Amino acid sequence: NAGVTQTPKFQVLKTGQSMTLQCAQDMNHNSMYWYRQDPGMGLRLIYYSASEGTTDKGEVPNGYNVSRLNKREFSLRLESAAPSQTSVYFCASAPTPRGSYEQYFGPGTRLTVT
Amino acid sequence: AQSVAQPEDQVNVAEGNPLTVKCTYSVSGNPYLFWYVQYPNRGLQFLLKYITGDNLVKGSYGFEAEFNKSQTSFHLKKPSALVSDSALYFCAVSHNQGGKLIFGQGTELSVKP
């Protein structure tokens, strides 16, 4: 099992460009999450998908959109990148949306917006 | 609103000594509490969790954590630190609606030989 995979690993964008971060899991999990990690701020939830066919906003959704393409895949799109979106992005998955389950994290995408 | 605080940005410990990484939380209702570890340029790895029951929870790599409801704390501990324990540690509380995690800001643990 690969677990949670993310592509790309690194990306540099110019302000105003768009891109999509890809995430896939092979653990048959129902719930998937996108977080961003900034120094001194821990991880903050951007969007999540409790189950296939549903998506909801997290703590910091502005400037992002998501698509739950199928049970395995959950993508994050930046329509018009801004320097404030420079961050490390992590995708995670969990068996169910119940809070008692731990989440499994991907290796991250390091994004720089110039 | 739920929140998590890790009061120390950095903890320095000598190898072989006990270590403690502190975490306090604020939640309504019964908390689900987690510890994750992040090694450089890697994703987060689950260490342990408290859901209910025994206040002392044992996890991976010899780590344990003590849930204290009266002090709203969930400190991470290890009796004897290893250099390889050096990493960034995150405490988190889970929201039962959607399983969303709320993280503390992280504590950098440095274990010196």
What is the per-residue pLDDT across A69-80, written as a single tens digit (0 to 9) for each? 999 999 999 999
Decide if B10 touches A, using CB distance below 8 A.
no
Let me know: does B60 contact B48? Beta carbons within 8 Å. Answer: yes
pLDDT band at B51 (very low <50, low <70, confident <90, very high): very high
Say whether pLDDT at A86 is over 80: yes
Q: Which pLDDT score, from 0 to 100, does residue B66 have?
A: 96
Q: Which pLDDT score, from 0 to 100, does residue B69 have?
A: 92
Decide if A89 touches B, using CB distance below 8 A.
no
Q: Which pLDDT score, from 0 to 100, does residue B27 have?
A: 87
Q: Which residue has the higher pLDDT, A76 or B41?
A: A76
Residue B100 CB contacts under 8 Å (≥ 6 apart), including other chains: A33, A45, A48, A58, A99, B94
Q: What is the mean pLDDT of residues A54-73?
A: 96
Contact A48 B51 (CB under 8 A): no
Q: Which pLDDT score, from 0 to 100, does residue A64 have?
A: 98
Let me know: does A30 contact A50? Beta carbons within 8 Å. Answer: yes
pLDDT band at B11 (very low <50, low <70, confident <90, very high): very high
pLDDT band at B90 (very low <50, low <70, confident <90, very high): very high
Two structure tokens written together for A51: 């189950």
Say whether pLDDT at B96 is over 80: no
Residue B54 CB contacts under 8 Å (≥ 6 apart), including other chains: none
Mean residue pLDDT of chain B comes to 94
Interface with A, mutate which of B32, B44, B48, B93 (most A CBs under 10 A):
B44
In chain A, the residue whose alpha carbon lies closest to the alpha carbon of B44 is A105
Residue B3 CB contacts under 8 Å (≥ 6 apart), including other chains: B25, B26, B93, B102
Q: Which pLDDT score, from 0 to 100, does residue B2 have?
A: 85
Let me know: does A97 contact A50? Beta carbons within 8 Å. Answer: yes
Q: Which pLDDT score, from 0 to 100, does residue A98 have?
A: 87
Percent of chain B with pLDDT over 70: 100
Q: Which pLDDT score, from 0 to 100, does residue A24 have?
A: 98
Say whether pLDDT at B1 is over 90: no
Say whether pLDDT at B81 is over 80: yes
Decide if B90 touches A, using CB distance below 8 A.
yes
Burial of A70 (0-12, 13-18, 19+ CB in 10 A): exposed
Nearest to A45 among B42, B96, B100 (CB): B100
Q: Which pLDDT score, from 0 to 100, does residue B28 have?
A: 83
Measured over the CA atoms of residue B50, residue A34, residue A4 and residue B10, the dihedral's sign is negative
Under DSSP, the state recorded for A73 is B
Let me know: does B101 contact B3? Beta carbons within 8 Å. Answer: no
pLDDT band at A40 (very low <50, low <70, confident <90, very high): confident
Interface with B, mutate which of A5, A102, A103 (most B CBs under 10 A):
A102
Tell me the residue length of chain A.
114
